[in-house]
């Protein structure tokens, strides 16, 4: 079985991969995440996931498989990234209040001679936020490093009235599609303890 590397510093992605019983090591794969002019959101997340996976290949053994992923919150075609500051976060949360938006997550696997990527789209609906809620949520510290200024797996769960799609993809890694890709690259889920030593 080839060794697997996760090209991400996200604790949420580490937890999700661990949840499905996959052995992996993490590595840093810093890339430029600036959207290209007129780049559609689907193409943007797919490009970044592939770029992270390919960037991770530079520092690993030739037999390794590298997993890259990227998540974008999209409202009416506009990508909502991580907030620059409090005002930016509050503006995003106000825009999401009482409305449905899309969360796009791409997962990519790459080796020295092969790569594949999947993009998963989920619809998330926020209930109308009450006065002061967005400010209190910002004060919690949670929105600071989150696309769209919220994390569904954290305190912002109380804002979500409806989810259509993959919960794990909204958190940061679509587990069904990830498991299918891993299997295609010779890496099983639900590994026995003896298989999980990297």
Question: Any idea which residues carry the catalytic annotation?
Answer: 70
Give strand pairing partners of 74. Answer: 79, 102
Other beta carbons less than 10 A from residue 131's beta carbon: 6
Separation between Cα atoms, residue 183 and residue 85, nearest integer Å: 41
Q: What is the CA radius of gyration of the chain?
A: 17
Q: What gap in Å lies between CA 116 and CA 84, rounded to an integer?
A: 32
| CA–CA gap between residue 163 and residue 125 (Å, rounded) | 6
The two structure tokens encoding residue 102: 């899309």
Instruction: Find residue 125's DSSP bridge partners.
Output: 100, 162
Quick check: 45 and 105 in contact, CB under 8 A? Answer: yes
CB atoms within 10 A of CB 189: 15
Tokens matching residue 155: 């305190």
């Amino acid at each position: 079985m080839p060794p697997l590397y996760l090209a991400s510093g996200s604790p949420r992605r580490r937890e999700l991969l661990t949840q499905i019983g996959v052995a992996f090591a993490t590595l840093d794969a810093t890339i430029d995440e600036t959207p290209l002019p007129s780049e559609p959101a689907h193409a943007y997340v797919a490009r970044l996931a592939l770029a992270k996976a390919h960037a991770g290949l530079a520092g690993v053994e030739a037999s390794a498989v590298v997993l890259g992923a990227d998540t974008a919150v999209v409202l009416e075609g506009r990508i909502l990234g991580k907030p620059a500051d409090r005002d930016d976060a509050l503006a995003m949360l106000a825009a999401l209040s009482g409305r449905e938006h899309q969360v796009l997550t791409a997962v990519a696997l790459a080796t020295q001679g092969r790569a594949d990527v999947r993009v998963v789209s989920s619809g998330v609906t926020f209930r109308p936020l009450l006065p002061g809620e967005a400010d209190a949520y910002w004060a919690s510290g949670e929105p600071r490093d989150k696309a769209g200024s919220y994390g569904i797996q954290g305190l912002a769960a109380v804002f979500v009235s409806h989810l259509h799609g993959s919960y794990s993809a909204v958190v940061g890694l679509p587990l069904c599609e990830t498991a299918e890709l891993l299997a295609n690259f010779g890496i099983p889920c639900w590994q026995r303890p003896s298989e999980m030593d990297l």
